[in-house]
Structure 1
Amino acid sequence: MREQPSAADDGLEESSPFRRPAFLMSAGFLAVVAVLGAVTFIRSPAPRSEQPSGPQAGDTPSTGATQAPASGCRPSDTSQQVPAGPPPGVTWQVYKTMALPYSSAAGPLVVSADGEVARCFAHTPLGALLAATHLSSRYVFSTQWRVITTEQVIPGPGRDAYVKLRKNRGVDVVVPGSLGQIAGFQFVTYGPQTAVVQLVMRFSTGQMSVSAVTVKWQDGDWKLELQPNGSPSASQQLVSSLNGFARWGGV
């Protein structure tokens, strides 16, 4: 059984985009808001072993700072078209009660045998979108969070702050319905090196929250950039509808 949370634990809880924001608690709502989703979801085939899949990728646009895909990672998606609607060819699979998206063309193409670490995303807008959803959930809830923060989070004050908060805390059991479900997205900006994506989460209360997640292309894959406090987003705001967002989700 977990000990009583400390002030630092509370900060860690609030840093997760998957939980409801703290300001909702003061309004009488339960828990804290987050950017990603939890739900029961329709299972579909997805990588389940540390073996790369998918055909050899074609050439992708690059700049002088662009690195080649990571070793063993060969996504076939090369489209630089920023999705304005639900991307085709995406299936959904449940992870810690959250429905997360998978694409055989854009990733994640490599998932660890225990299902905790997902990597190998295409160097495309769709690859960035998929990376944003996976990394901003897994770095908080994965039992392999140390591996993820070391290998898939950009080094800097945000990563340091998160590790400091997280290192003495166990892995919580996620209760079904306590987390949000992905309901939509919108690209704020996309470039070969940096993508910022707004993710909309819908919670069991009916409330919806939007947060902006940043991923950067580094060492041949997309990696998560954290805010100085260890959160993946500078703010979480309530939205009353999905107007202006692409409707997207696993349920």
Structure 2
Amino acid sequence: MIRHFTRGGRILAVAAALLIAAGCSCSRDDTTSTGTTTTPAPDPSRPPAAVRWESWQGVVLPISATDGPAETSTDAASGYSHTPQGAGLAAIQHTVRISIAPDGRWPLVAYTVLVSNAGKDEFVLSRSQYSITGPADPQYVPTILGYKITSYGDDRSEITVYSRYPDDSLSANSAVVVWQYGDWRLELPDPAAKIAVVTAIPELPGDIVRLEPPR
């Protein structure tokens, strides 16, 4: 999310049908009734509900009363709904927080929000070689504009987060979040893949989930 750093399709319809068969034997006749309950499929285009904004390390981040993060008392915000909206918010929060968590506090963030893989190993190695002691430099602080879920599944989702910088340039940050241990965690790409997760874009796509940060 912060341009100093490089980070780390399907829409899965979750429809659970519960078939309840109730049989009743009476003296006069036998009656069998069947009812079906379905769970609505996730809607990746629906914005998170009841969003407020809080500043962390100089970056203003969205928090939803229903979709998370539920826990923000530490630098590693956690507790997201198991929904596309929770996945989108986790992608935003995790990419910013892992990028600019200060010295002495980033190990907890990495432990809490990152999937254990080669990408995490590479991040830990590189992060130990530089220092962050305060909030992000205002000239590089992004304004979060929204996100787009390019692939949603109960266990893994691919998301692009869109931001604007003080010079009016726009960026797209590709992120993958994985449902692990009851929460969405950020999966950094394998460094061997040489994936550019942050790219400059000329304009915002028209179909993103737009968020309205405070002015």
Q: Please give the TM-score of this superposition, normalised by the length of structure 2.
A: 0.74
Q: Output the CA distance in 1 between the equivalents of 2:211 and 2:65.
A: 18
After superposition, the C-alpha distances for 1:78-102 in whole angstroms (9 at most, x for unaligned) are: 9753342543311111111211111
- In the other structure, the counterpart of 1:72 is none
Q: 2:119 aligns with which of 126, 134, 158?
A: 158
Q: 1:200 aligns with which of 162, 167, 184?
A: 162
- In the other structure, the counterpart of 1:73 is none
Tell me the SS of whatever aligns to 1:121: coil
Q: Output the CA distance in 2 between the equivalents of 1:234 and 1:105.
A: 32
Give the 3 Å change call, closer, same or farther, for CA 138–159 of structure 1 in structure 2.
same
- Whichever residue aligns with residue 163 of structure 2, its letter is M
**Which runs of 4 or more aligned residues in structure 1 lie more than 6 Å from their structure 2 counterparts after TM superposition?**
none
Contact 1:101 1:130 in 2 (8 A): yes
Contact 1:33 1:180 in 2 (8 A): no
What is the RMSD of the two structures over their aligned residues, measured on CA atoms? 2.7
* Residue 103 of structure 1 pairs with residue 64 of structure 2: yes
Q: Identity over the aligned pairs, expressed in percent?
A: 27
Contact 1:99 1:249 in 2 (8 A): no
Tell me the SS of whatever aligns to 2:157: strand
What's the offset of the Cα at 1:178?
1.8
* Residue 246 of structure 1 pairs with residue 205 of structure 2: no
Q: Output the CA distance in 1 between the equivalents of 2:147 and 2:107.
A: 28
What's the offset of the Cα at 1:146?
0.4
- In the other structure, the counterpart of 2:89 is 130
Consecutive unaligned residues in structure 1, runs of 5 or more: 1-16, 20-31, 36-59, 63-77
- In the other structure, the counterpart of 1:217 is 179
After superposition, the C-alpha distances for 1:209-235 in whole angstroms (9 at most, x for unaligned) are: 11211100011111000012399x743
- Whichever residue aligns with residue 223 of structure 1, its letter is R
* Residue 18 of structure 1 pairs with residue 18 of structure 2: no
After superposition, the C-alpha distances for 1:176-200 in whole angstroms (9 at most, x for unaligned) are: 2322111121110000000111111
What's the offset of the Cα at 1:241?
1.9
Paired residue total? 181
- In the other structure, the counterpart of 1:50 is none
User: Which structure dedicates a bigger proportion of its chain to strand?
Assistant: 2
Q: 1:186 aligns with which of 136, 143, 148?
A: 148
- In the other structure, the counterpart of 1:120 is 79
The farther-off stretch of 175-184 and 90-99 is 175-184
Q: Please give the TM-score of this superposition, normalised by the length of structure 1.
A: 0.64
* Residue 147 of structure 1 pairs with residue 131 of structure 2: no
Give the 3 Å change call, closer, same or farther, for CA 79–116 of structure 1 in structure 2.
farther
After superposition, the C-alpha distances for 1:7-47 in whole angstroms (9 at most, x for unaligned) are: xxxxxxxxxx322xxxxxxxxxxxx4879xxxxxxxxxxxx
Contact 2:53 2:61 in 1 (8 A): yes
Q: Output the CA distance in 2 between the equivalents of 1:220 and 1:33.
A: 28
- Whichever residue aligns with residue 42 of structure 2, its letter is Q
Point out the structure with max Rg over C-alpha.
2
Tell me the SS of whatever aligns to 2:53: strand
After superposition, the C-alpha distances for 1:37-69 in whole angstroms (9 at most, x for unaligned) are: xxxxxxxxxxxxxxxxxxxxxxx979xxxxxxx
